[in-house]
Amino acid sequence: MFEGTPNQEKGKPKFKLMITRHAERMPSGELRPEGIEHSRAKGRKAKEAGVEVLKAYASDHPSRRAYDTGDLISASSYIRSPLTGEQYRTREVRGIQYDVLKPDLYYLLTEAKDLIEEATLKELGMSTERDERGKLKIDMEKLSNEEQQRIAPVRQRNQAVGFEHVLANREAVHRMAMGLANQLTRRIKVLDRYAAVRKSDGNSPKGDVVPNTVSHGLFDESLLMEAGIYVSNDGQETKGIRDFTSPEFGGYIEPAESLYLVIDDPSAVPERIPVEFENAARVPNGKVYIDKDKLETLAQDYQEWERARAAEEKAK
């Protein structure tokens, strides 16, 4: 959450793990003009808030919509490395795109896409006729750019039906959660090293240090389902957030929306890591935390899964 200035309204600078869903996209996959502008606006807001470091780590999905989102945010912030005088380089990373569902669970995405597109066509009054294989005859990805622009906001509104379908599968949730957790634990280690170097130089950060991890829809929700803790204002606790459409949460994470894991000291991460939401309307009656031990366990699960997958590939 980018608010205030680093040494006045915000107090002591913090280390924040920023997690961003890629910005609005076309049915064919690339960013919409609205998504490009939202990404740039987020970067400008970071600069206005006095963020000192803003570096993006993005999903390596071939559409590059996550990469473009992260790179646009970083570029428009005009935050530069004091060593090179250039924008911090955006890096592509593994485990935070839908490849984690391959090969056995990838069908869930196909089914979700079909549900979303059928609902979208119905809302638009367009044909939902199917061919002899049961596939919708209208292929949104092959429509003209103008038609895709018209359809994209409606498709976005109908994503909930597909999201619910995927999140009903606990193994799919676990894989997406462990992929994101693996990247976040890596970011914590980077922050720990960075803080130690700055401290040894006698040059502590004057503004928030924010590595931005950019992934896709359902990854944030999966992490919150697996490692989230909800504490209501009356003190009642619930481990794992399940209902994202309830007033207690406020809906699925929107395109270009971020949440933040707030860490005072990367060398002493709290057992419960506070979560800040960019959307102030979220979680109106309580607070959300990420269980550090669960985060680390998920990261270990991902590493074991990656090793097993590599061994299988080698044995082929």
Q: What is the pLDDT of residue 237?
A: 95
Q: Which two tokens stand for residue 263?
A: 């860490």
pLDDT of 183 reads 98
Are the CB atoms for 240 and 228 separated by under 8 Å? yes
Q: How far apart are CA 54 and CA 66, in angstroms?
A: 16
User: What is the chain's alpha carbon radius of gyration, rounded to the nearest angstrom?
Assistant: 20
Do strands 53-59 and 209-215 pair parallel, antiparallel, or not at all (unpaired)? Answer: parallel
Furthest-apart CA atoms within the chain: distance in Å:
70
DSSP states along the chain: ---S-TTTTS-S--EEEEEEE---B-TTSSBPHHHHHHHHHHHHHHHHTT-SEEEEEEE--TT-HHHHHHHHHHHHHT-B-TTTSSBPPPEEESSSSGGGGTTTTTHHHHHHHHHHHHHHHHHHT----B-TTS-BSS-GGGS-HHHHHHHHHHHHHTHHHHHHHHHT-HHHHHHHHHHHHHHHHHHHHHHHHHHHHHHHTT---SS-EEEEEEE-TTHHHHHHHHHEEEEETTS-EEES---TTSTTT-SSPPTT-EEEEEES-TTS--SEEEEEESSTTSSTTEEEEEEHHHHHHHHHHHHHHHHHHHHHHHH-
Per-residue confidence (pLDDT) for residue 206, from 0 to 100: 87
Q: May I ask the CATH class of domain 15-102+170-315?
A: alpha beta
pLDDT on residue 9: 46
The structural domains of the chain, with segments of one domain joined by +, span 15-102+170-315, 108-166
Size of the chain, expressed as the number of residues it contains: 316
pLDDT mean by block of 10 residues, the chain; 316 residues = 45 90 94 96 94 95 96 95 90 97 96 97 96 95 93 95 97 98 97 90 88 97 98 94 92 96 94 95 95 98 94 82
The Cα–Cα gap between 191 and 186 comes to: 9
